[in-house]
Amino acid sequence: MLKKILIANRGEIAVRIIRTARRLGVRTVAVVSEADRGAPFASMADEVVEIGAGPASESYLRGDRIIAAARQSGAEGIHPGYGFLAENADFAEAVGRDGIKFIGPSPDAMRRMGGKAEAKAIAAKAGVPVVPGYAGDSQGPKALAREAQRIGYPVMIKAVAGGGGRGMRLVEHAAGFAAALESAQREAKAAFGDARILLEKVIDRPRHIEVQVFGDAHGNVVHLFERDCSLQRRNQKVIEEAPAPGMSPELRARITEAAVACARAVGYEGAGTVEFLVERGMLSAQSPWYFIEMNTRLQVEHPVTEAITGLDLVEWQLRVASGERLPLDQAQIKMSGHAIEARLNAEDPASGFLPSMGPIVVFETPSQDGLRVDSGVAAGSVISPFYDSMIAKLIAHGADRPQAIARLAQGLEETVVAGPKTNAAFLHALITHPAFRRGEMDTGLIGRELSALAPARFDARAVGAGVVRMLVGDTNSSAGGRPSPWGAKDAFQLSGPRVERRTVLVDGAAMQVEVRWTPHGPAAALVGDHPPSPTGAARMLRVVGDGNPVYVLCDMRQTVLGWPTFDAAGSEDAGDGSTVRAPIIGRVAKVFVAQGDTVAKGDRIAVVEAMKMEHVLHAGRAGRIDKLAVKEGDQVTLGALIAALVEA
């Protein structure tokens, strides 16, 4: 067994690896960026080496610095986790040249199966069906547009060198192909250092099924059954489960055998995942299915496989990297119960899933039977724009699928995150959706049901509770901390109940509330026409903070409340689309206009990149660019001016 390993990653996967390494008596070295100083994973490791500034390109993507840190610390192996350099064959090769063990497949296997084009050719040669498409060397816009026309729309653009939904675009019609291609190539280059793409025919209502495989240096390859990853948004997985609901024994046998054949074809060593699409949402023995790619690393969703098999996949990785044989053969690997994983992200579903950044004020997760929480943050951690938005993974395991769903729903209801907004309510709505409960889903389910799963409204119950907390914080200390009209800073009356109106900021928008003073303290209610709140008591209502602002968690949705202050910077925005502002903290990846240009309503102005996602900003009206406030590469804050327009 390796004695000391360096973890070339961060966050929850670094925590996950450290826990297993500690149990096995393996010492760990964490590499950290300036932004991750003091992060939970850094404090858990036996040693810490700082490798650069916050942006991944200056730290976690700097293979030379990571290898130098391994040499400096005396690490015998490097575990890449997932993301960053995990599927970079050049990095794996450089690690080996330094006499350090790369805890993963060989560079050759990584190149052959990590590149989607060659992987499809290998799968086809092994007799595995592949998705029709184009994976050739011609990468010019005109050549690719011709191939897309030949395949037939809709088509999917995919980055050759990576996964995780980055560098991937769905194109419905030929008119949108050029812009989608440019965006996909730019994102692929930024994420993987390789702008090459391939094209695939879009499969009708597919189920996304993946098979966990494992190989060793002695020629042994096994599978650990399948996972269903069909619930996706923007090609990013949201919910994963194992086994796949409704999977027929015949289809399971064919798909798992195909996965093992693909791994054997390249002499695969370590953990890997072979991914397939199954047509029309059914997993019957007759359903058409296709190989799409292989991920040559551990997957984010590996805990559901661990839950149903009772195995520790990181332990298997360390044993295989140490030259040992696989701990079990195929006949010894059994499946028990059902497991579901939900990715809790710092994002706001009601605002188009924009990333939500900033410090975590409160973070609490429940302790309950059958629930595992993998996280890389704690109260006081800061969600930054440099990395992905994941806060935690909640993994529920039960004797059957209904029990796993019930445990996961309870876990989401009892999880508390204050500060950044999260997708907890969205996840809860998704796993309690009738179609999900029935196991009737495909990769388009979230898109079809998005308005119901992520309603763009706030909860009036949260506003009332938050205003009362702010009023309590405003009371005179001579009142013993209890709300009192004598502590208020406005006029009062001696007869009858006192009622006042106040302006409050609800998620940044000014609204009127009516405050009624009672013998038991103030009660507050929104004034005006607002969407109705759910009736009855909330499953969970929690107010965090005593002053301005306060964070109110009501049925897993966060509302931020505060008293208004005048901001002179906002006076230049008339609210008529004459300014374009950054919707998130991030980096300006692309600017499409120059000062003085004339634009039409809807024209692209710029792209702001954060948390590995691109956000295209469009002109809200026609006009002339009077002021261009940014250039490519600039870092911008939330609400920062990008461009100002005047009449043409």
Catalytic center residues: 297
SS3 482: coil
SS3 461: helix
Q: Which of 82, 65, 70 is nearest to 17 (CA)?
A: 82
Tokens of 601: 């309503």
| Signed CA dihedral, 582, 583, 588, 593: sign only | negative
243 preceded by a cis bond (ω within 30 of 0): yes
Euclidean distance between CA atoms 440 and 623, whole angstroms: 48
Any residues with CB less than 8 A from the CB of 349 and at least 6 apart, and which?
Answer: 423, 425, 426, 453, 454
How many helices (DSSP H) and strands (DSSP E) are in the chain?
16, 37
Contact 436, 231 (CB under 8 A): yes
Residue 358 CB coordination number (10 Å): 14
H-state helical runs in 350-459: 401-414, 424-431, 434-438, 445-453
Tokens of 469: 């907390």
Euclidean distance between CA atoms 130 and 158, whole angstroms: 15
Q: Which of 15, 3, 8, 6 is nearest to 376 (CA)?
A: 15
Residue 274 identity: V
Residue 37 CB coordination number (10 Å): 10
Exposure b/e, 572-598, CB count within 10 A at least 16 = b? eeeeeebbbbbbbbbbbbbbebeeebe
252 phi/psi in degrees, rounded to 5: -60, -45
Euclidean distance between CA atoms 28 and 50, whole angstroms: 14
Euclidean distance between CA atoms 88 and 163, whole angstroms: 12
Residue 551 CB coordination number (10 Å): 23
SS3 118: helix
Q: Is 648 exposed, middle or buried (0-12, 13-18, 19+ CB in 10 A)?
A: exposed
Q: Is 514 exposed, middle or buried (0-12, 13-18, 19+ CB in 10 A)?
A: middle
Any residues with CB less than 8 A from the CB of 620 and at least 6 apart, and which?
Answer: 576, 577, 578, 580, 601, 645
Contact 118, 112 (CB under 8 A): yes
Euclidean distance between CA atoms 436 and 428, whole angstroms: 11
